[in-house]
Structure 1
Amino acid sequence: MAITVFGDVILSSSVLAAGVKGKNLRLNARVPTDNGYESINIIWTQTLRQYTLGLVPLCLEQWQAIETLHEITEGGAYGLLLQDPKDSTVSDGVMTLVSAGVYQLHKRYLHAASARFKTRKITRPQAAGFVPTVASMPLAPTSYTLDVTTGRIAIPSAPAVGTLAWSGPFYVPVHFIDDVIDWDLVMSGPAEQRLVAGPSVVLQEIRE
């Protein structure tokens, strides 16, 4: 069963600003041969991103923001949204056709020297700052409908997919991968001076 993502629950930028460590996860089956060669089969065709919080001590307000999210999402049973501190905008996005007049948003990672690219489906665009274009001309807000819970856009005029592009910010849907989060009071004293660390707080991207 797919994980339900709470679209109105967003990780505070102040928590991310305090420090975050991440991983880009792929899964390949690597089989070495007797003569030293290696056979590799791709299992996951898309990357999953992982974010570890609490690497540096946080003030009580920041730590309580993490605990609140853990409570609201029932320890990771539900998802939330996060703005990746290193990759949260699209400047020249592409779209693919879903059905007549309905398109899916994607971000394209392009290696300019070779023209090779990889596309990533974007399911959680932000409405503020979203700009779709047809033949490089921005669409009027009244001429399309954006679904920020799927990353799909409905354009009744149904332009050719090759003429479409978009730009704007997006969120990453994530969830706590563990039922338990550890914490350590690394500085005691008055509440405004206390610092809490919790290096086990890991959020992982949800495939949608």
Structure 2
Amino acid sequence: MGFHEVRFPANLSFGSVGGPERRTEVVALTNGYEERNTPWAQSRRRYDAGVSLRSLDDIAALIAFFEARRGQLHGFRWKDWSDYKSCAPSGTPGFRDQEIAVADGVATVFALSKTYGEGPDVYVRPIAKPVLGTVLLGVSGDEQVLGLDAEVDVTTGLITFAEPPDAGEVITAGFEFDVPVRFDTDVIQTSVASFQAGEVPNVPVVEIRL
């Protein structure tokens, strides 16, 4: 599976429709109760890039990007404007935003993540595509210096410390991030006449597992 470390033009994704998808299997029992289960440990996001297109130049940019990805063949980065920070959408990421691990005194590599909800039912989402230059890191409340104390791989979301943090220390991070996606179609149909009349093509985009 190929992945191109390029972002779908952010001005074209702004205004798109989409969000998380879950898969739940519901079985209705004869007594009126239900049994519910899911084969998915993680949610998957879907978007429609077509609704954000506003001009013929936008369509040209979309087609160029689509052709360079060879349709569904190669994945790419997508900015989800409703959820792209470790903090609230109106805030600025800080190194205390997300607890990503508790050190054991041995491990030096930790994965970025974002936690949704509170209490025992929280969902911890892996973050594999942080945005270059936005990652901040802390250990037990002390900010770390990236490039000196640790390194971040923006293609995987892995943090590597120069020395293992002491056991019990809490590792935190703040960041912006993209969603790894691919086009969910090999066909884009456009009509200049209909577009000028207010219609836009359907351009489905779906999150991929890495």
1:204 counterpart = 2:206:
yes
Aligned ranges 1:80-95 → 2 under 5 Å = 80-91=76-87, 92-95=97-100
Corresponding residue number in structure 2 for 1:191: none
The 1-side partners of 2:157 and 2:52 are apart by 34
Aligned length: 196
- Identical pairs, percent: 27
Letter paired with 1:205: E
Partner of 2:137: 132
Rounded to whole Å, the distance in 1 between the matches of 2:99 and 2:132 is 17
Relative to 1, partners in 2 of residues 1:56 and 1:116: Cα closer, same or farther, differing over 3 Å? closer
- What's the counterpart of residue 164 of structure 2? 158
Q: 1:162, 1:102 → 2: CA distance?
A: 14
**Secondary structure of 2:175's aligned partner:** strand
In the alignment, what sits opposite 2:30?
Answer: 34
* Cα distance in 1, alignment partners of residues 52 and 130 from structure 2: 29
How far does the alpha carbon of each residue in 1:106-137 deviate from its partner, in whole angstroms, 9 at most, with x for none? 101123xx564110000001121210101111
Q: Once the 2 structures are TM-superposed, how far is the Cα of residue 102 of structure 1 from its aligned partner?
A: 0.5
Letter in 1 for 2:117: L
Question: For 1:16-55, what aligned pairs fall within 5 Å after superposition?
Answer: 16-17=13-14, 19-55=15-51
Moved more, 63-72 or 97-106: 97-106
Aligned 1:96-175 pairs, distance under 5 A: 96=101, 100-111=107-118, 116-141=121-146, 142-159=148-165, 160=167, 162-175=169-182
Q: Does 1:184 align with 2:182?
A: no
Distance 2:81 2:19 in 1: 13
What displacement does 1:161 show?
A: 6.5
Partner amino acid, structure 1, of 2:11: S
Distance 2:191 2:28 in 1: 43
Give 1:65 shift: 1.7
In 1: Cα distance, 2:82 partner to 2:198 partner: 26
Confirm or deny: 8 A CA contact 2:12 2:52 kept in the other structure. Answer: no
User: What secondary structure sits across from 1:54 in the alignment?
Assistant: helix
Q: Could you tell me which amino acid in structure 1 is paired with residue 49 of structure 2?
A: L
> What is the root-mean-square deviation of aligned Cα atoms in Å?
2.2
- Secondary structure of 1:153's counterpart equals strand
TM-score (norm 1): 0.86
Structure 2 unmatched runs, 5+: 88-96
Separation in 1, partners of 2:130, 2:154: 5
TM-score normalised to the size of structure 2?
Answer: 0.85
Task: Tell me how far apart the structure 1 counterparts of residues 78 and 114 of structure 2 sit (CA, whole Å).
Answer: 17
Aligned-pair distance for 1:158? Answer: 1.1
Would you tell me which structure has more strand in proportion to its own residues? 1
Shift of 1:156: 2.1
Structure 1 gaps of 5+ residues are 189-193
Q: Partners of 1:83 and 1:118 in 2: how far apart?
A: 21
Q: Deviations over 1:62-87 (max 9, x none)?
A: 11121112111111110010111100
